[in-house]
Structure 1
Amino acid sequence: MIKKLIVNADDFGLSEGVCLGILKAHRDGILTSTTCMMNMENIEKYLEMTKAYPNLGLGVHLNITVGKPLTKVSFIDEKGNFKSRDTYKNREAIVLQEELYQEWKAQIEKFIKITGHKPTHLDSHHHVHLLKSNRDVVLKLAHEYDLPIRQETYLQKDFEPVYFEELFYNQDATFEMINMILHKDVENYELMCHPAMIDWKLYQISSYHLRRAHELDLLCSQKVKKMTKDIEFINYHAIKKI
């Protein structure tokens, strides 16, 4: 059975409803961590809200698929927004590595400037850091800032491994799935989730919207709290260097 569990909400900053849902899931549920989209509007205001929750782990959700970049890059559309996730569906789409490095570094630096500290870890919107063309960039940044990366701790070698699977999502975001995950025979596990209070902005910009409210209910439910009573809840701050 899992010994230590990170419950990380992606997409902090995507909309106000997303941020409010994530904070509720932490305050009233089992959520321990979130990753922040630093190029989104009002992210400064949303990060200010997290000051009331000092035990909430805050990472950076590296992004090249939603919103406008922080730096000058070539992988944008005619409106100046990042190209959509469809651009990367073949998992082989190429972006210039130096541009990508500067953009993702700007997103990390913006987080540090606003919060006054480093993020707990790195992951990415739509898992684009796992693309073959992007992996070297995220590994370089992780080494530079001395941070673990979702799904890449086994490559970094200098952090305890955190087991990760994309299981708790959409129709599989259920009590049954949480119970199955809890019985994994691993030391550290990250449960990725997407809780939210639905607002119009989220409904417009994300195809994954109504199910987020369902996830929020699950994460805050007494049934899930009872299921996880023997688990030690942590965030990436607790992942030690080897």
Structure 2
Amino acid sequence: MINQLIVNADDFGMTQANTIGILVGHSQGIITSTTCMMNMPYAEFALEQAKKFPQLGVGVHLVLTVGRPLVEGAQSYTDQNGDFIRPKDYPDGKPHANQDELYREWKAQIEKFIEIAGHKPTHIDSHHHVHLLPWHLDVTKRLALEYDLPIRQREQVLDTYPYIPVYDQMYNDDANYQYFTHVLSSYHGPLEFMCHPAYLDQRLYDMSSYNLPRMKELELLTSPEVKTFIQENHIKLINFSDLPHNHL
């Protein structure tokens, strides 16, 4: 059984409804952390609302595959309209960004977060896990060290903070009590549980093929059964700001 749990809701700021859903999942459920998409039109709304919930950890959900970059003129990951190229339009389904262009774009996303929130993000992860692609990892680690931030990790690639593995496989019909408790019972030590809870609006329905199941996730993460399981098994709910710095 795990002893510490980060429940991170991805895609904060993608739409108004999914943002509100994440905040409800925190205030009424077990969500402890979220990550904001700084190139989305509701990013500022999300970060302003998050100020009302000081116990919610808020990081940056680095974007490379949806919407429009904050920095214009990049050639390695934009289409003829200047938008991010979607994964399906790459030959291998994965973006391959120029490192200098990627550093400037992701640094701009982090700086925009700081400008709006008034403080650093709690951590870094990314939409579609693009920060962990081997050819992007040097940029990810450079930014993590520059801003002194933990990052989402599948395998340990940075040791400045304690390693917390991420579980990222809850989709569709997996959002149920039996599945959730089985996952938590199968791990030992700390764990980050990645999720996509939301209320649904037209923008989210149009943007993401993974839409209706997000409401099922939200129902699960706010359910009395899940909260009771956490309490009875003495699982401490934390976010990335609770991690101590590893002093070498």
TM interval, short-chain normalised: over 0.9
Partner residue in 2 for 1:241: 245
User: Could you tell which deviates more after superposition, 199-208 or 42-51?
Assistant: 42-51
Measured at CA, do residues 98 and 152 of structure 1 come closer, stay the same or move farther in structure 2, by a change above 3 Å? farther
1:52 paired residue number: 52
Q: Percent identity?
A: 48
Query: What is residue 63 of structure 1 aligned with on the other side?
Result: 63
Q: C-alpha distance in 1, partners of 2:61/2:104? A: 15
Q: Which amino acid aligns with 1:241?
A: H
Match of 2:223 among 217, 221, 232: 221
Runs of 4+ in structure 1 deviating by more than 6 angstroms, as ranges, are none
**Residue matched to 1:159:** 161
Per-residue deviation at 1:184? 3.2
Equivalent residue for 2:80, pick from 58, 78, 81: 78
Aligned equivalents of 1:89, 1:146: Cα separation in 2: 34
Counterparts of 1:88 and 1:238, CA distance in 2 = 38
The residue correspondences of 1:1-242 to structure 2 (distance < 5 A) are 1-72=1-72, 73-74=74-75, 75-87=77-89, 90=92, 93-151=95-153, 154-229=156-231, 230-242=234-246
Contact 1:168 1:174 in 2 (8 A): no
Residues 93 and 54 of structure 1, relative CA distance in 2, 3 Å threshold: closer
Q: Following TM superposition, by how much is the alpha carbon of 1:232 offset from its aligned partner in structure 2, in angstroms?
A: 0.5
Paired letter, 1:234: I
Which stretch of structure 1 is more off in the superposition, 153-162 or 198-207?
Answer: 153-162
**Structure 1 residues not aligned, in runs of 5+:** none
Deviation at 1:147, TM superposition (A): 0.6
- In the TM superposition, what is the alpha-carbon distance from 1:227 to its structure 2 partner? 1.2
Secondary structure of the structure 1 residue equivalent to 2:100: helix
Alpha-carbon distance in structure 2 between the residues aligned to 1:88 and 1:25:
34
CA distance in 2, matches of 1:234, 1:144: 24
Question: What SS does the aligned partner of 2:58 have?
Answer: strand
Q: TM-score, normalised by structure 2?
A: 0.93
Work out whether residues 4 and 235 of structure 2, in 8 Å CA contact, stay in contact via their aligned partners in 1: yes
Q: For residue 213 of structure 1, what is the amino acid of its counterpart?
A: M
Q: Secondary structure at the match of 1:240?
A: coil
Partner SS, residue 162 of structure 1:
coil
Instruction: Quickly say closer, same or farther: Cα 1:214–1:158, change in 2 above 3 A.
Output: same
Distance 1:227 1:239, change over 3 A: same
Q: Give CA-to-partner distance per residue, 1:90-111, whole Å, 9 cap, x none.
A: 3664211100000000000000
Amino acid at match of 2:175: A
Q: In angstroms, what is the RMSD of aligned CA positions? A: 1.5
Which string of whole-angstrom CA distances, capped at 9 and with x for unpartnered residues, describes residues 199-229 of structure 1?
Answer: 0000001010000000010001011111111
1:19 maps to a residue whose letter is T
Q: Distance in 1 between matches of 2:174 and 2:16?
A: 25
CA displacement at 1:153 relative to structure 2: 7.2
- Aligned residue type for 1:236: F
What is the CA-CA distance between 1:78 and the residue it aligns to?
2.6
SS in 2 for 1:201: helix
1:169 Cα deviation (Å)?
2.1
Residues 167 and 177 in structure 1, CA contact (< 8 A), matched pair in contact too:
no
Moved more, 39-48 or 179-188: 179-188
> How far did residue 167 of structure 1 move?
2.4
- Answer yes or no: is the 8 Å Cα contact 2:168–2:195 preserved in 1: no
CA spacing shift, 1:57–1:127, aligned 2, 3 Å: same
